[in-house]
Amino acid sequence: MKSPAHRTRDIERQAGYLRPEHCAPPPPRSGSDTMWFIRDGCGIVCGVITWFLVLYAEFVVVFVVLLPAKNVLYSLFNGVIFNGLAFLALASHARAMCTDPGAVPKGNATKEFIESLQLKPGQVVYKCPKCCSIKPDRAHHCSVCKRCIKKMDHHCPWVNNCVGESNQKYFVLFTLYIALISFHALILVAFHFVLCFEDDWTKCSNFSPPATVILLILLCFEGLLFLIFTAVMFGTQVHSICSDETGIEQLKKEERRWAKRSKWMNLKVVFGHPFSVSWLSPFATPDHGKADLYQYIVALTRQNDTHPCQCSFSNLSVQPHLQCMCTWTSIHYALGHAAATELYCKCGSCKALIGYSTVH
Indicate whether 264 and 317 sit together in one domain: no
User: What's the pLDDT score for residue 135?
Assistant: 81
Residues of the chain with pLDDT under 50: 1-22, 25-26, 28-32, 290-360
Residue 22 lies in a domain: no
Same domain, 237 and 352: no
pLDDT of the residue at 288 = 57
**pTM, two decimal places:** 0.72
> Which residues, 6 or more positions from 35, have their beta carbon under 8 angstroms from its beta carbon?
98
Residues 284 and 302 placed together within one structural domain of the fold: no
Say if residue 190 is in the same domain as residue 44.
yes
pLDDT of residue 328: 37
End residue of a domain, out of 260, 289, 318? 289
pLDDT given for residue 136 in this prediction? 81
> How far is residue 133's CA from residue 26's CA, in Å, rounded to a whole number?
9
Residue from 238, 278, 274, 23 nearest 129 by CA: 23
Number of domain units in the chain: 2
Catalytic residue among 131, 156, 204, 345: 156
The reply to whether 156 belongs to the active site is yes
Looking at residue 5, what is its pLDDT? 45
What pLDDT, on the 0 to 100 scale, is given for residue 112? 80
* Residues 131, 248: Cα–Cα separation, whole Å: 19
The pLDDT value given to residue 174: 98
- The reply to whether 168 and 71 lie within a common domain is yes
pLDDT of residue 54: 98
Distances in Å between the Cα of 345 and the Cα atoms of 293, 323, 331, 339 are: 22, 10, 11, 20
Residues 193, 331: one domain? no
Instruction: State the residue range of the domain holding 284.
Output: 38-102+151-289
Alpha-carbon distance values, 62 to 156, 183, 343 (Å): 30, 16, 59
Half-sphere exposure of 92 (CA within 13 A, CB side): 26
CA pair distance 264, 279, nearest whole angstrom: 13
Per-residue model confidence (pLDDT) at position 41:
93
